[in-house]
């Protein structure tokens, strides 16, 4: 790194910034946020929207501040009349072809285009529409809905899909006035390698990509007296929901969240963290089994459904490395509709499981055909026909959808009194909380695996190497007499690096954790928008704080999990476990369409 600083003057203020700094980022340093609709710090600069222009002395033209780096002595003016006029005109041009149907748009009041139009002083639409064709809405995906008509062609979604996730399910197709974002042959996301991660929806400045909503279905189920509706909440919701309800970035709202779900009308409020602890039990024992019986290593975690679709699609020859454990969401559905239904004396056909997830891919995961372990389990006992098949998880709501439902019933979230999860599927440990952060599943698994293997008590349960904020991290542990190397990756681009190592026979690791989204589930595609690196840092901190305050921090010490094994599953990797908690993978093809 060249440490030399560059001196610039921004709006009359002198400042020294690092070489290579973009003008837009330098402006931030003097407290000026330059408006933009296409720039994504650290991810992409495409220069398509033109609203980030500034005036640079001795430059005849206005300069797009996201595309230019500072030079020595540069004099930048960010709000001359010429700049303000140009930004406004560029915004008006973007709006010319944008359907001004804000009231019926999911992003209404949380839309960058809308907010910036207001901020830049647009009060009328002077330019007529030039696009005549109505583009078909892509509703093929179980997770996402794309409306090309609302798109301003900023390229952010294409960029995150290509460079962050290395999936490239979408690209700019056509040219000129007919340009749009689309998939191969325009066949829709479901017929593309899309992993359903939803990072595109997080960065979209308009309502052109949103999650496929299940709000109405859930409201209907909640008002049906013949149903028992159970809800499970993923770890990352407790640091996301408060944000969506206006309580500040990364606000930790576990107890208010539980009360709000009761107020919505759920019959039981349970925690995905319960089955996160269960996942650790199964996964840690699977790892020990793989190590001691010379089965394929490294073993890779399987909690993140975008990641599962990714490896199945792009590295089908490596699916044997995946842990056979279902994700905590799916373990919950299977356990709720067997163990809990039986215990509570409920007919499993009248039980509905709703998941609140920080994730759009969870919608896809719940709909996978093999995710009906409870149905298969009851089938013999109750003599059920195939037409009576029910899924383990019925509906998945993102953090954003839950927030909208709470707004719809007019619940005053900020003054809500807290309450606790219901028993027994509501009990969890610190190991389960940290599933929300990249590195957390690994850390929780190690807390259990190390104690199980060595028979000793871990003094320090916090593995600091795994908490470093990097796309790929690694750690070496001494367990007994052997050293075990482990790695953690977040984003699919980083996962690809570790998979290529395995492919080349060069992977030094025994265990790898992969999360699809940046920083893990707290940065998931279903989380509140915006979800910048700065905001994610606050969510990460809140998760670790919740872990520190949990009376029990190791999954194998969860008393409700012990009871589950004693009364139902018998032991990790038992026959019942395999039937309900483990799964198989499909070999896909990235070039199938």
Partner 1 sequence: MDERLRSIETIVASRRGEHGALLSILEDVQRTSDHNYLKAEELACVARALEIPLAQVYSVATFYAFFNLKPQGEHVITVCRGTACHTRGSKPLLDKVLAHLGVTLGDDGSATTDDYQFTVQTVACFGQCALAPVIAIDEVIHSKVSEDQLIELVRSLQQGGQE
- Summarize as ranges the residues that interact with partner 1 (CB under 8 A): 162, 167-175, 182-185, 192-193, 590-591, 593
Catalytic hit among 49, 66, 154, 303 = 303
Task: Compare residues 165 and 254 and give the one whose CB is closer to partner 1.
Answer: 165
The residues facing 101 across adjacent strands are none
Please, which residue, 192 or 206, has the CB nearer to partner 1? Answer: 192
Catalytic residue among 521, 531, 542, 546: 521
**Distance separating alpha carbons of residues 396 and 381, to the nearest angstrom:** 28
* Catalytic pick among 57, 136, 370, 566: 370
| Measured CA angle at 155 (ends 149, 161), to 5 deg | 105
Inter-axis angle of helices 81-96 and 112-119, to 10 degrees?
Answer: 140
Under a CB-based contact definition with an 8 Å cutoff, are residues 79 and 11 in contact? yes
Residue with smaller CB distance to partner 1, 192 or 399: 192
Phi, psi (degrees; rounded to nearest 5) at 35: -70, 140
Write the DSSP symbol of residue 388.
G
Q: How far is the CB of 359 from partner 1 (least distance, A)?
A: 23
What is the 3-class SS of 22-42, one letter each residue?
Answer: EHHHHHHHCCCCCCCCCCECC
Residue among 172 and 220 whose Cβ is closer to partner 1: 172
Task: Tell the smallest beta-carbon distance from residue 153 to partner 1 (Å).
Answer: 13
Nearer to partner 1, 168 or 324 (CB): 168
**544-583 b/e with 16+ CB inside 10 Å = b?**
bebbeebebbbbbbbebbeebbeebbeebbbeebeebbbb
Q: Which of 365, 443, 513, 546 is catalytic?
A: 365
The angle, 0 to 180 degrees and rounded to 10, between the axes of the packed helices 305-314 and 492-503 is 40
* Rounded least distance, CB 588 to partner 1, Å: 13
Three-state DSSP class for residue 565: helix
Choice among 286, 312, 401, 443 that is catalytic = 286
Residue 296 tokens read as 């394929």
Q: Please say whether the beta carbons of 564 and 434 come within 8 A.
A: no
Q: Which tokens go with 497? A: 């690096």
Q: Which is nearer to partner 1, 140 or 168 (CB)?
A: 168
Query: Least separation, in Å, of the C-beta of 289 and partner 1?
Result: 36
Q: Is 303 labeled as catalytic in the residue annotation?
A: yes
- Measure CA 427 to chain center: 23
Of residues 182 and 430, the one with the C-beta less far from partner 1: 182
Q: Are 376 and 392 in contact (CB under 8 A)?
A: no
CB of 113 to partner 1, least distance (A): 24
Shortest distance in whole angstroms from residue 184 CB to partner 1: 4
Nearer to partner 1, 123 or 591 (CB): 591
Minimum CB distance to partner 1, residue 171 (Å): 4
User: At a CB cut-off of 8 Å and minimum separation 6, what does 234 contact?
Assistant: 272, 328, 329, 355, 356, 357, 358, 359, 362, 435, 436, 521
- Cα–Cα distance, 270 to 268 (Å, whole number): 6
Which is the catalytic residue, given 362, 513, 542, 555? 362
* Annotation marks residue 362 as catalytic: yes
Give the Cα separation of 486 and 466 in Å (integer).
Answer: 9
- Greatest alpha-carbon pair distance for the chain in Å reads 82
Instruction: Please tell me the distance from the alpha carbon of residue 330 to that of residue 258, in angstroms, as a whole number.
Output: 20
Q: Is the dihedral of CA 221, 223, 229, 230 positive or negative?
A: positive
Toward partner 1, which CB reaches closer, 27 or 144? 144
Query: Strands, E, within 438-504: which ranges?
Result: 472-479, 482-490
Minimum distance from CB of 503 to partner 1 (Å)? 13
To the nearest whole angstrom, how small is the minimum distance from the Cβ of residue 592 to partner 1?
8
Half-sphere exposure of 311 (CA within 13 A, CB side): 30
Active site residue 370: yes
Distance (Å, whole) CA 290 – CA 284: 10
Catalytic residue among 141, 192, 302, 323: 323
Length of the chain: 593
Catalytic residue ranges: 283, 286, 303, 323, 362, 365, 370, 521
């Amino acid at each position: 790194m060249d440490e030399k600083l560059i001196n610039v003057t921004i709006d009359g203020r002198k400042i020294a910034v690092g070489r290579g700094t973009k003008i837009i980022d330098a402006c931030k340093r003097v407290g000026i946020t330059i408006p933009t609709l296409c720039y994504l710090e650290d991810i992409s600069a495409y220069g398509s929207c033109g609203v980030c222009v500034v005036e640079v002395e001795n430059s005849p033209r206005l300069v797009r501040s996201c595309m230019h780096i500072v030079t020595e002595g540069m004099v930048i003016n960010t709000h001359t009349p010429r700049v303000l006029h140009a930004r406004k005109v560029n915004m008006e041009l973007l709006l010319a072809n944008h359907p001004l149907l804000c009231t019926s748009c999911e992003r209404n009041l949380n839309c960058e285009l809308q907010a910036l139009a207001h901020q830049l002083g647009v009060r009328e639409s002077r330019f007529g529409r030039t696009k005549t064709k109505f583009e078909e809405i892509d509703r093929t995906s179980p997770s996402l809905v794309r409306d090309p008509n609302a798109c301003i062609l900023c390229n952010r979604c294409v960029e995150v899909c290509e460079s962050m996730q290395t999936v490239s399910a979408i690209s700019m197709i056509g040219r000129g006035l007919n340009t749009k974002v689309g998939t191969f042959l325009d066949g829709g996301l479901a017929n593309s390698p899309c992993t359903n991660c939803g990072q595109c929806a997080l960065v979209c400045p308009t309502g052109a990509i949103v999650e496929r909503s299940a709000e109405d279905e859930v409201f209907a189920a909640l008002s049906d007296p013949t149903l028992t509706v159970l809800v499970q909440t993923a770890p990352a919701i407790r640091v996301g929901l408060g944000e969506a309800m206006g309580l500040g970035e990364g606000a930790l709202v576990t107890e208010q969240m539980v009360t709000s779900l009761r107020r919505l009308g759920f019959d039981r409020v349970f925690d995905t963290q319960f089955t996160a602890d269960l996942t650790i039990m199964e996964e840690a024992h699977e790892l020990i089994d793989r190590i001691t019986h010379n089965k394929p290593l490294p073993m890779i975690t399987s909690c993140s459904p975008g990641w599962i679709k990714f490896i199945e699609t792009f590295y089908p020859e490596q699916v044997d490395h995946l842990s056979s454990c279902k994700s905590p969401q799916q373990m919950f559905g299977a356990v709720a509709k067997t163990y809990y239904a039986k215990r509570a004396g409920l007919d499993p056909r009248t039980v509905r499981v709703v998941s609140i997830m920080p994730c759009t891919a969870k919608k896809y995961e719940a709909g996978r055909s093999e995710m009906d372990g409870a149905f298969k389990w009851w089938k013999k006992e109750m003599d059920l026909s195939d037409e009576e098949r029910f899924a383990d998880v019925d509906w998945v709501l993102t953090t954003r959808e839950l927030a909208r439902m709470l707004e719809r019933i007019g619940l005053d979230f900020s003054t809500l009194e807290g309450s606790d999860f219901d028993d027994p599927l509501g009990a969890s440990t610190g190991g389960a909380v940290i599933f929300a952060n990249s590195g957390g599943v690994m850390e929780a698994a190690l807390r259990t695996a190390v104690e199980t293997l060595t028979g000793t008590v871990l003094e320090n349960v916090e593995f600091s190497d795994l908490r470093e904020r990097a796309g790929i991290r690694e750690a070496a542990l001494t367990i007994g007499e052997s050293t075990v190397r482990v790695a953690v990756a977040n984003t699919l681009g980083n996962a690809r690096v570790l998979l290529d190592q395995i492919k080349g026979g060069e992977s030094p690791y025994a265990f790898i954790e992969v999360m699809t989204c940046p920083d893990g589930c707290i940065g998931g595609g279903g989380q509140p928008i915006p979800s910048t690196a700065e905001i994610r840092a606050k969510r990460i901190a809140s998760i670790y704080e919740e872990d520190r305050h949990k009376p029990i921090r190791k999954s194998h010490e969860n008393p409700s999990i012990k009871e589950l094994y004693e009364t139902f599953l018998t032991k990790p990797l038992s026959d019942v476990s395999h039937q309900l908690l483990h799964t198989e993978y499909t070999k896909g093809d990235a070039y199938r369409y």
